Structure 1
């Protein structure tokens, strides 16, 4: 790494400081972070095992849920090891290329998760508003293309972010005020004009999160319109119950996502509050999702009960 007039030319390494202002308690913060990650790993692995081994769960809703669980596992794997290394061992140094790689996987997996949540909303829309055509619309081939398109969209749009960062050469600092490599945190280090980086980052956020949230909202407006027209109260409650888990997951994901996004660009939130919020946004949903779906989804709940309560001599 070369330094020129208090700037860094093509830095090879960067330093992540963790949570600014809370460095003296980061060691202890690492324990709840580890606990949340452990719950996320175990919960999502267990969810994947249940869905893949139980033939009755090989339905569109559960297939999307399995993809969501795999995405959450990848997100935790991209964030937790380095974050815990910073908190517990003071291992703050990171290769610049490794930082860009982490940045890509974090934001790409966020994009995939958002797209899968939209796909799940569409699944609920068809199941409630057009139930007779549900199996003919959501075929295995359709599910495959949805997952493929969602993944390619995230990889292409997010993949441009590290490419734009790589073209920058001069940085006023190599110290990233964050606990992981977040796009705007890296952009703010550059001395050069970063208007393109900021504009494209904003475009990616609205092209993925904004687009998906809009159509999720539209899907649920149509769902609620259909549900309220059902003549029987029991039918309305049943329809709402099939959507309750999805609604909880949608709200936790999109509310935290946009609050974190806008506070980083336009707000006046203290750095430690923003980074804590960003960490919660990335790690808490993966831990909560299997719990929410396990509690709210009857088929998964029944399978869990069978696994843990079933007598050893009982034949399945």
Structure 2
């Protein structure tokens, strides 16, 4: 490590991203996995967007929310993976201070947006199953646009404090981030001043934003499951379950890694650092890869469109 990274400074012009500390020898192999996940995420989400645009039967509120989810996943993937891969492949560890704060903002704001989109999709399924007669009059195109705008604005506004708090903090010890990207807590922990405000605001975001989203989703699905199991026939119950199974799978793929990371980060003090960083990468990389697969497999219109596409190419 060069001495320039250890000397005192008021604020750094660049940060040094270590990748996954302790697993440097495995960076090349890990990068192959990450690159595969990145390619699947980019291709899969573009396919979702293309099919929703081209298939008239998908011009419904649920699939407009799915398009928003695909766009969010694309931004999350493209704002992090290129830098991670350049670090692993070319040892390009430096990142400009402002670029680091920008990456941090994009990651966390779009994560909040994704959580909000899942909440909107849960509301969509709630209306479709619990109040089917009011579905078309409640979830109009105008209402979907308003919900989408609210989700985007919430993600933009609530994360504005992250780069502001990080920029105001004095960095006088080191500019080395033991992480593969500019994660908020990993950056503010480098500050030599009091970071209690930054820490408390991070906890607020976890419990009062994502936590409330999870509560809303859980309440929605309790009502949905009650309505499903009160249906008179088994076929009707299976059909209703099928309409929300893909959404449930996507929710679990998104929230389980996030919850696990939050718990290990706050309470797993004896957990090795490389495990923390790996989990942080998992909760960032896995949902954008899995979401198009889940919806592609579980959505009949998308599945049929894919089959027609490959059938026409084969003839």
Please report how far the alpha carbon of residue 206 of structure 1 lies from its aligned counterpart in structure 2 after TM superposition: 2.0
Gaps of 5+ in 2: none
Q: How does 1:289-308 map to 2 (within 5 A)?
A: 289-308=291-310
TM-score (norm 1): 0.95
Describe the SS at the equivalent of 1:192.
Answer: coil
1:171 shift after superposition = 3.3
Which residue of structure 1 lines up, in the alignment, with residue 125 of structure 2? 124
Distance 2:186 2:177 in 1: 6
Between the two proteins, the alignment pairs up a number of residues equal to: 312
Moved beyond 2 Å, runs of 4+: 3-8, 310-313
2:181 is aligned to 180
**1:88-139 C-alpha deviation (Å, 9 max, x unpaired):** 0000011111100000000011111100001001000000000011111111
Question: Does structure 1 conserve the Cα–Cα contact (< 8 Å) formed by 2:253 and 2:286?
Answer: no
Shift of 1:250: 0.6
Scaled by the length of structure 2, the TM-score of the pair is 0.96
Whether the 8 Å CA contact 1:8–1:174 is kept in 2: the answer is: no
Distance 2:33 2:211 in 1: 31
Q: State the alpha-carbon separation in 1 of the partners of residues 245 and 68 from structure 2.
A: 19
Matches of 1:124 and 1:4, distance apart in 2: 52
Contact 1:69 1:286 in 2 (8 A): yes
Instruction: State the 1:182 CA deviation.
Output: 0.2
* Residue of structure 2 in register with 1:135 after alignment: 136
Q: In structure 2, which of residues 270, 276, 279 is the aligned counterpart of residue 277 of structure 1?
A: 279
Deviation at 1:6, TM superposition (A): 5.2
1:199 corresponds to: 200
In the alignment, the residues of structure 2 paired with residue 84 and residue 19 of structure 1 have an alpha-carbon distance, to the nearest angstrom, of: 12
- Aligned equivalent of 1:241: 242
C-alpha spacing 1:53/1:5, structure 2 compared with 1 (3 Å): closer
d(CA) in 1 for partners of 2:266, 2:104:
17
Looking at structure 1, the residues matched to 28 and 58 of structure 2 have their Cα atoms a distance apart, in angstroms, of 41
Task: Report the Cα offset of residue 4 of structure 1.
Answer: 12
Aligned positions of 1:1-316 closer than 5 A: 7-268=8-269, 269-310=271-312
Q: Deviations over 1:272-305 (max 9, x none)?
A: 1111111111111111111111111112111111
SS state at 2:9 partner? strand
Cα distance in 1 for residues equivalent to 2:32 and 2:114: 26
Query: In structure 2, do the counterparts of structure 1 residues 155 and 311 end up closer, same or farther at CA, with 3 Å as the change threshold?
Result: closer
Superposition CA RMSD, Å = 1.7
Range that drifts further, 4-13 or 30-39? 4-13
Deviation at 1:311, TM superposition (A): 7.1
Shift in Å, 1:56: 1.2
Q: Give how far 1:145 is off.
A: 0.9
Structure 1 stretches lacking a partner, 5+ long: none
Change (3 A) 1:116 1:309: same
Q: Is the 8 A contact 1:115 1:208 kept in 2?
A: no
Separation in structure 2 between the aligned mates of residue 133 and residue 309 of structure 1, nearest angstrom: 39
